[in-house]
Amino acid sequence: MSKDNKEIMCQCGCNHEHNHEHEHDHDYEDFPRIHLVLEDDTEVDCLVLTTMELRGKKFVALLPVGEERVLLYEFKETDEGIELINIESDEEFELASKAFLEEFGDE
C-alpha cells in the first residue's frame, strides 16, 4: 500500500473540509478496527466504516483514528487475510466515493 492512496473528506454536515479540529463529535466507537502497516512502515489504526460491492469488486472505507479523512481501497479476501489495493482508476474511485457519500454523507 502506498502513501498516494485516494481519500475523501468526511461529510458531516458542518459545511467545511475536515482538516482541522472542530467542536462536534462523530460517534465511531461501534465500528471495527484494522491496523495497517504501509509500505514505508508507517503504522495506522483505522476504523472500518463500511464495505461495498460495486460492479463485481469489493471496496472498503477506512477512517484513520484521530483524523477526519476517509481512505478508500479495493480489497480482496485471500487465504492469508485481507489484501488492500489502491484504487488506480478515476472511474472506480468516483464510483466508490459516490457510494460512500450516499451512505455517510450526512454524518
- Over residues 1-24, the pLDDT tens digits come to 433 444 444 434 333 344 444 444
Taking a C-beta distance cutoff of 8 angstroms, is the pair 46, 64 a contact?
yes
Place of cell 492512496: 5
Instruction: Name the residue ranges covered by the structural domains of the chain.
Output: 7-11+31-104
Q: Above 70 in pLDDT, residue 67?
A: yes
- Residue range 7-11+31-104 in CATH 2.30.30: yes
* Mean pLDDT computed over 52-74: 93
Q: What is the DSSP string of 19-54?
A: SS--S-----TTS-EEEEE-TT--EEEEEEEEEEEE
- 42-46, 54-58, 103-107: least confident range: 103-107
Report the run of H or E that residue 62 belongs to, with start and end. Answer: strand 57-64
